[in-house]
Amino acid sequence: MADENASPSQPDTGASVYSEPPPEKKYSPADRRKRRRNLVILIAGVVVVVAGLLVWRYLSSYESTDDAQADVHLYPVSARVSGYVIRVNVNDNQWVNKGDVLVEIDPTDYQVALAQAQANLANAEATARSLNITVPITSVNTVSQLQFTASGIEDARAAVSAAEKQLVAAHQQVEAAQANDVKAQDDLRRYKLLVDRHEVSAQIYDQAVASARSSTANVAAAQASESAAQQFVQQAQSRVAQAAANHAYAQTGPQQVSSTKARVQAAIADVQQKRALVQQAELNLQYTKIIGPVAGSINKTVVVGLNVESGQQLLTVVPLDEVWVTANFKETQLKHMQVGQKADIHVDSSGRTLHGHVDSIAGATGPLFSLLPPENATGNYVKIVQRVPVKIVLEPGENRDRRLRPGMNVVPDVYLR
């Protein structure tokens, strides 16, 4: 009994440790099939959900469109001068480099025009040099002429004064000769009366006659001298007027110098004009050789023997190294699209995939750039999803074989993440 009473106070740990496990629940074959079916359905559901998430994440990570083409700037090559085409150095679809001579126009006319312009320039330069020499000579002559004409006026006035004095002296001589002649004539009359009465000799009378004739001649000579003196006075006065006119003309010397300087300026301007004509003639001669503006493939419409006009297009250069892609995405596809995002371009013609990135997004939808943009302010409006051009440029070296040509269809994928 003691053992029976002691056993409850101390738990029997050994019995709990080594107790037998509960019996397993047994399933029927139908239950096991059902459990397996539920497990497969659960796993399949998880796989479908995960795959859907992955597909959704992949499909939402990029935007794609088949409304895309390769594009490039075409470079039209035109003639800058008119003339006869003597040589075409390229063929259709030939590759040319920048600076290559593509077409040559007959340069003979332009060589002659250049020679004529150079001759005109030499003539104008010679004229300008001669006028530059004339300016200082004219200035010196003007000063000397002013001094000479001023002294000429003084000399002429002095000559007038001297001539007037000579005229006064000649007049006095006339008066003296006339007085002597009056006395001689009176003496002749008295001697005539005396000789008639034989109171004096004939010899004395003859002397009186000679003296009277001499006095008359002296009067005539004195009057002639007076007339000459008057002419001298008039000549001296005319010389004063001439000297005054010369001095007035000499005073226009500064204006003559200014006029000469103006002619020099006109000659210099003419030289500059002729030099510009020479430069234009040189340019026209250079323009007879038409060179390629960029490297690219050629599409030509010119042949040897064609007479071309200035501005007439002769060739078109297609720079295949500068090709890009213009993708017209729907406006709903631009929500997360940004400049710089990577892009894969699938080329329809070759099946290749090229790599690039978004360069820019157009500032307006495509229809707004058309000749007749749509007008939505009408009663029959139907909403249409618009497309916006997106420029995608290729990464360097992607089109090194130049197989991507402008106008080809491509399918770009722009990765948004």
**What's residue 153's pLDDT?**
67
**What's residue 113's pLDDT?**
95
What is the third-level CATH fold of 78-106+289-315?
OB fold (Dihydrolipoamide Acetyltransferase, E2P) (2.40.50)
Q: For residue 308, report the phi and psi dihedrals to the nearest 5 degrees.
A: -110, 155
Specify burial of residue 198 (Cβ count, 10 A radius: 0-12, 13-18, 19+).
Answer: exposed
Query: How many degrees, rounded to 5, is the angle at CA 222 between CA 219 and CA 228?
Result: 145
Alpha-carbon distance 294 to 184, whole Å?
A: 123
What is the third-level CATH fold of 110-279?
Helix Hairpins (1.10.287)
Paired sense of beta strands 324-330 and 387-394, if any: antiparallel
Provide CATH 2.40.50.100 ranges for the chain.
78-106+289-315
Alpha-carbon distance 82 to 292, whole Å?
A: 18
Class of domain 64-75+319-415: mainly beta
On the CB side of 84, how many CA atoms lie within 13 Å of its CA? Answer: 6
Provide CATH 2.40.30.170 ranges for the chain.
64-75+319-415
Q: What is the pLDDT along the chain (417 residues), one digit of tens a residue?
A: 334 444 444 444 444 444 555 555 556 777 777 778 888 888 888 888 888 877 776 666 789 999 999 999 999 999 999 999 999 999 999 999 999 999 999 999 999 999 999 999 999 988 888 776 555 555 555 656 656 666 666 776 777 777 777 777 777 777 777 777 777 777 777 767 776 777 667 777 777 777 777 777 877 877 787 777 777 777 777 777 777 776 666 656 566 666 667 777 888 889 899 999 999 999 999 999 999 999 999 999 999 999 999 999 999 999 999 999 999 999 999 988 999 999 999 999 989 999 999 999 999 988 887 777 777 666 677 788 889 999 999 999 999 999 999 999 999 999 987
Helix 108-196 and helix 202-251, axial crossing angle in degrees, nearest 10: 160
**What's residue 138's pLDDT?**
52
* CA nearest to 65, candidates 333, 324, 323: 333
Specify burial of residue 261 (Cβ count, 10 A radius: 0-12, 13-18, 19+).
Answer: middle
**What's residue 151's pLDDT?**
66
Structure-token pair, residue 336: 């997360």
Structure-token pair, residue 403: 């197989």
Provide CATH 1.10.287.620 ranges for the chain.
110-279
Place of tokens 């596809």: 333
Assess contact for 325 and 392: CB atoms under 8 A: yes
* CA nearest to 271, candidates 135, 123, 133: 123
Paired sense of beta strands 83-88 and 307-308, if any: antiparallel
Ramachandran region of residue 397, left (φ > 0), alpha (ψ -120 to 50) or beta?
A: left
**What's residue 249's pLDDT?**
63
